[in-house]
Amino acid sequence: MPLLNQPVSLSHYLVVGAILFACGILCMATKRNAIGVLMGVELVLNGAAVNFVAFSAPFLRGDAELALGLDGHLMTLFVIVLAAAEAAVALAIALCYYNTHATIDVDEGDELRG
Amino acid sequence: MELARLVPLLLLFAWLLPLGSFAAIVFAGPRMGRGGHKAAYLATGAIGAALVLSLAALGAWLWHHPLAADSQAAAPLSGDWYTLAEFGKLRLAIGYYIDALTLGMFVMVTLISTCIHVYSIGYMHEELGEVTDPLVRGSDGGPLVRPGRFPRFFQYLSLFCFSMLGLCVAGNIAMVFVFWELVGICSYLLIGFYIERRSASTAANKAFIVNRVGDFGMIVGIMILLGGLGTFAFGDHLGAGGKVEPGIFSQVRPASAEHGLVVPDGLVRMAAADRLAAVYASMPSADAAEEEIARQIPQLRRAGYGYWLLILAGLGIFCGCVGKSAQFPLHVWLPDAMEGPTPVSALIHAATMVAAGVYLVGRFYPVFAPEVLLVIAVTGCITLFLAATIAIAATDIKRVLAYSTVSQLGYMMFSLGVGGWAAGLFHLFTHACFKALLFLCSGSVIHACHTNEMTEMGGLRKKMPWTAGTMLAGCLAISGAGIPLLIGLSGYHSKDAILAQAFSFARHAPAHGWLFYVAAAGAAITAFYMFRLWFMTFAGKPRVEHIYDHAHESPAVMIVPLVILAAFAIGAGWTLPVVNWGLPELLEQARPLGTAEGFPEARTIAGLVIPAEHYSHEPALHRIVSLAAFAAALVGFLIAVAFYGLRLLSAEAARRWFAPVHWLLVHKWFFDELYDAVFVKPALFLARQAAEIDRGVIDWAADGSARLCVLIARIDDWLDRWIVDRFVNGLARWTWRLGLALRPLQSGQLRQYVVMIAVSTVTIFILVSIYRNYALLP
């Protein structure tokens, strides 16, 4: 594994982000519990956020004159805020879902089946 | 109230009352009591009230213009009640022109109409319930049974009276024409009252169509007068700015020419339009041209410009009167008008329809040139002789009376034509009384016998004394019976006046003296056929037993009008001594200005002088004529007595001796056949040809284009169904199938969606990487 022999660089962060993202997708695809799905969503968001942060960190990129921009950080902050809002809405949905279905198993909610 | 306001107001109400009754019966007739019998009381009440109002108006008039032995013309009242429209100087108005003639007509029309209304209550009672008409076959083959039309009859009577009164009071020709046509349509409706009978509907059509022929001439006359004089009004009236606009009469007979006949400027301009246009072209300004024209007009008038237009206008107006009053070429409709109920015949023959024509000739008298008067006289003379001869051979009681009416109308026209204005109109009034009486009597007979044929009657005098007595009075009146030179029944006075004027005319214009002898002969024939009628109906032995046995006197409601009318038939011609109250004196008041002194010698016919009427009153002349007229009537009477009263001579034998003449008279001089051959057949032939063209060409083309349309529509339909619809339906079907195919993808499973999104994203990513040569793969 060549990555493990090298100092920490952008690629490492990207790998971590990709793992997080993949874990999130896996979680969303496998969990039947709505809360679990939500957690998967958080993982996906955070995986993306890690990527943003990694890309915008100047020392990780190695080209200092291009690295002054804070756009990646901003996007990350935006993602975090979005995630918080999303969590609130999603939990409300989960509660409603429970009210109507008496369970939070997402497989039960197939009213929109074609 | 002053006369000029009171009299028009009274006449306005008298005129509109029948209209109100008409409107009420139209809307509520069938609901007025059982069978609508109260409609009769309404109509009779309206016309009776109109009679009272007319009498009041006449009284007011006579209070201001008392009658005297030498009555002078009193100024007529003219004005407008309501202006319908105004186009520049031309006014269309509901106006009035009231003189003694108008008032006399009002009283006469309302009096006779009232009698006829009362009589009709009795005569038409069968119409109250269901009516069985034996002359019409119903749909089941038996006699037709139909609901009664009692209210409708009175509704038409009211409209008829309204129209006739409107015609009499009219103040302008436009209004005259409107009411003229209304009278025509009323007669049409009433003649065709038994509409189911083919003969009745044909007679109604005939009356209407023949009258249209006359009206065509009348429209020509009206157009000439309107074009030349620029006004419809008879009398003068205040125009815009307080200026007096001269009416027709004062334009044709201006006061400046002492009411002599003058061709009005307008007609001169019309006739000389070419010359005046040349004047306009040659003059520098319009004003100068007008001045020059004004200078030239008297010259042109002397040269005769416009005179023919005046003659043509007069002939046109007279042509309308020929149709309405059933004069010689257009007399054929009146005898057929017998198809209506008998009271209608009485109304048409006495007070309304046919009187309208004579009245209008009297009214337009100032406008007629001497040439027109000669035409009128000759027409009247031919009519009186023709109709009298036809009446000799007729056996239908109403037909005899119808031809006698035509003949008497001929007398009136003849009298007006030879200058006897007052005599002609006097005869109109007296004739109205005795002809209404005669018709109602014949109605009473028909009511009793249920037949019109005199050959089936006879001896009815014992069964129907009142009818026989009143009818005898009518016969004596129409024959002109009286004590010569002293007094007589109404017809004696009026016919005397006519013959005296004819004699005076024959003296002044010897070239046309034959007219007098024809008229005198007509008087003899009149006496003959009237007494033939009376003897055949009432005297002798019954000819058909069961009809005689069935006959009965009519009810009082029918007899009372007969008695009233008989009184007028006897006395209408009298002039009360001392106070000088009489019809001739009344008419003398209405004599149009300028006609009292006769007419000057005609411009185009040498030796034609229309003498003044007062010449005929000279005792020397009057005595001769009186005796001659009486002798003529006596001869006619004696012949009738010889043939039908005492049966000294055999009518059968006379018929054989004069077989060709009898054949001619029975066929009414072949007028119907002639008109049938000359007008009706060609018209029908043309109509049939037109129908053939319609069917063969126009229908064929129309049908063909319709069929073509259908064909094109079929093709269009096929295209629509098999091409357009298929394409659209196919598209819809494929969309549907695609939807069905994609349906399982929408499982509603959240997790599945997530997997799909992820897999798709990755797939897209990989694909893009491959095709864009991106860095994912080495």
pLDDT by residue (tens digit) across B618-661?
Answer: 888 888 888 888 898 899 999 888 888 777 777 778 888 888 88
The answer to whether B755 contacts chain A (CB < 8 Å) is yes
Residues of A whose CB is below 8 A from B747: 110, 113-114
B741-750, long-range: CB within 8 Å, 24+ apart, which pairs? B742/A114, B743/A114, B744/A114, B745/A114, B746/A112, B746/A113, B746/A114, B747/A110, B747/A113, B747/A114, B748/A109, B748/A110, B748/A111, B748/A112, B748/A113, B748/A114, B749/A106, B749/A107, B749/A110, B749/A113, B750/A37, B750/A106, B750/A107, B750/A109
Q: If you average pLDDT over residues B170-197, what whole number do you get? A: 91
All domains of chain A, ordered by start, with CATH?
Answer: 8-110 (1.10.287.3510)
Residues of A whose CB is below 8 A from B748: 109-114
Distance CA B758, CA A46 (A): 16
Greater confidence (B509 vs B778) lies with B509
Q: Which of B746, B751, B758 sits opposite A106 (nearest CB)?
A: B751
Residues of B whose CB is below 8 A from A28: 751, 754
Q: B321 is written with which tokens?
A: 């009167």
The answer to whether B746 contacts chain A (CB < 8 Å) is yes
Q: Which of A28, A107, A114 sits opposite B744 (nearest CB)?
A: A114
pLDDT at B732: 95
The answer to whether B769 contacts chain A (CB < 8 Å) is no
User: B764 CA to chain A: closest CA distance, Å?
Assistant: 16
Distance CA B525, CA B637 (A): 9
pLDDT tens digits, residue range B758-775? 889 889 988 888 887 755
Q: Which of B748, B749, B758 sits opposite A25 (nearest CB)?
A: B758
Q: Tell me which residues of chain A have a C-beta less than 8 Å from any C-beta of chain B.
A: 25, 28-32, 37, 40, 106-107, 109-114
pLDDT at A16: 92
User: A11 CA to chain B: closest CA distance, Å?
Assistant: 13
Residues of B whose CB is below 8 A from A113: 746-749
Give the 3-state secondary structure percentages of chain B, helix then strand then coil, rounded to 5.
75, 5, 20
pLDDT at B239: 67
Write down the mean pLDDT value for chain B.
Answer: 87
Distance CA B332, CA B224 (A): 28
Residues of A whose CB is below 8 A from B745: 114
Greater confidence (A1 vs A44) lies with A44
Residue (of B212, B147, B153) closest to B347 by Cα position = B153
Q: Is B401 within 8 Å of B435 (Cβ atoms)?
A: yes
Q: Is B533 within 8 Å of B396 (Cβ atoms)?
A: no
Listed range (B171-185, B550-564, B676-690) with the worst mean pLDDT? B550-564
Say if the Cβ atoms of B751 and A111 lie within 8 Å: no
- Interface test with chain A among B738, B740, B742, B751, by most A beta carbons within 10 Å: B751
Distance CA B495, CA B506 (A): 16
pLDDT at B777: 54
Convert B256-313 into a string of H (helix), E (strand) and C (coil).
HHCCCCCCCHHHHHHHCHHHHHHHHHHCCCHHHHHHHHHHHHHHHHHCCCCHHHHHHH
Q: Is B61 within 8 Å of B581 (Cβ atoms)?
A: no
Q: B662 is written with which tokens?
A: 């009898």
Q: If you average pLDDT over residues A54-76, what whole number do you get? A: 70
Chain B nearest-CA residue for A37: B751
Say if the Cβ atoms of B746 and A113 lie within 8 Å: yes
Residues of A whose CB is below 8 A from B742: 114
pLDDT at B646: 79
Write down the mean pLDDT value for chain A.
Answer: 84
The yes-or-no verdict on residue B235 having pLDDT over 70 is yes
User: A44 CA to chain B: closest CA distance, Å?
Assistant: 11
Helix (H/G/I), strand (E/B), else coil: B169? helix
Most confident of B350-359, B403-412, B478-487: B403-412
The yes-or-no verdict on residue B242 having pLDDT over 60 is yes
Q: If you average pLDDT over residues B356-370, what whole number do you get? A: 90
Q: If you average pLDDT over residues B423-429, what whole number do you get? A: 92
Helix (H/G/I), strand (E/B), else coil: B145? strand
pLDDT tens digits, residue range B375-396? 999 999 999 999 999 988 888 8
Helix (H/G/I), strand (E/B), else coil: B245? strand
To which residue do tokens 């006779």 refer?
A: B112
Residue B525 neighbours by CB distance under 10 Å = 23
Residue B652 neighbours by CB distance under 10 Å = 8
Q: B618 is written with which tokens?
A: 């000279």
Say if the Cβ atoms of A30 and B751 lie within 8 Å: yes
User: A5 CA to chain B: closest CA distance, Å?
Assistant: 21
pLDDT at B11: 93
pLDDT tens digits, residue range B14-57? 999 999 999 999 998 778 877 788 889 999 999 999 999 999 99
Say if the Cβ atoms of A112 and B751 lie within 8 Å: no
Helix H or strand E encompassing B83: strand B77-87
Q: If you average pLDDT over residues B492-520, what whole number do you get? A: 88
pLDDT at B298: 86
User: B778 CA to chain A: closest CA distance, Å?
Assistant: 16
Q: Specify which residues B407 forms β-bridges with.
A: none
Residue A71 neighbours by CB distance under 10 Å = 10
Greater confidence (B353 vs B159) lies with B159
Residues of B whose CB is below 8 A from A31: 751
Residues of B whose CB is below 8 A from A111: 748
Show Cβ contacts of residue A96 under 8 Å, excluding neighbours closer than 6 positions: none
The yes-or-no verdict on residue B461 having pLDDT over 60 is yes
Helices B750-771 and A10-30 pack at an angle, to 10 degrees, of: 140
pLDDT at A68: 57
What interface predicted TM-score (ipTM) does this complex get?
0.83
Q: Is B493 within 8 Å of B604 (Cβ atoms)?
A: no
Say if the Cβ atoms of A107 and B746 lie within 8 Å: no
Q: If you average pLDDT over residues B734-762, what whole number do you get? A: 87
Say if the Cβ atoms of B746 and A29 lie within 8 Å: no
Q: If you average pLDDT over residues B308-321, what whole number do you get? A: 92
Residues of A whose CB is below 8 A from B749: 106-107, 110, 113
Listed range (A5-9, B442-446, B577-581) with the worst mean pLDDT? B577-581
Say if the Cβ atoms of A114 and B754 lie within 8 Å: no
Residue (of B308, B289, B307, B431) closest to B358 by Cα position = B431
Greater confidence (B570 vs B540) lies with B570
Helix (H/G/I), strand (E/B), else coil: B366? helix
Give the 3-state secondary structure percentages of chain A, helix then strand then coil, rounded to 5.
80, 0, 20
Helix H or strand E encompassing B592: none
User: B767 CA to chain A: closest CA distance, Å?
Assistant: 19
Q: Which of A29, A37, A111 sits opposite B755 (nearest CB)?
A: A29
Say if the Cβ atoms of A110 and B745 lie within 8 Å: no
pLDDT at A1: 59
Q: B601 is written with which tokens?
A: 């010698």
Distance CA B668, CA B651 (A): 19
Helix H or strand E encompassing B621: helix B619-640
Q: If you average pLDDT over residues A64-83, what whole number do you get? A: 78
Say if the Cβ atoms of A30 and B745 lie within 8 Å: no
Q: Which of B745, B750, B754 sits opposite A114 (nearest CB)?
A: B745
Of chain B, the percentage scoring pLDDT greater than 70 comes to 98
Say if the Cβ atoms of B749 and A30 lie within 8 Å: no
Say if the Cβ atoms of B750 and A114 lie within 8 Å: no
User: B749 CA to chain A: closest CA distance, Å?
Assistant: 6
Count contacts between A and B (CB, < 8 Å): 40
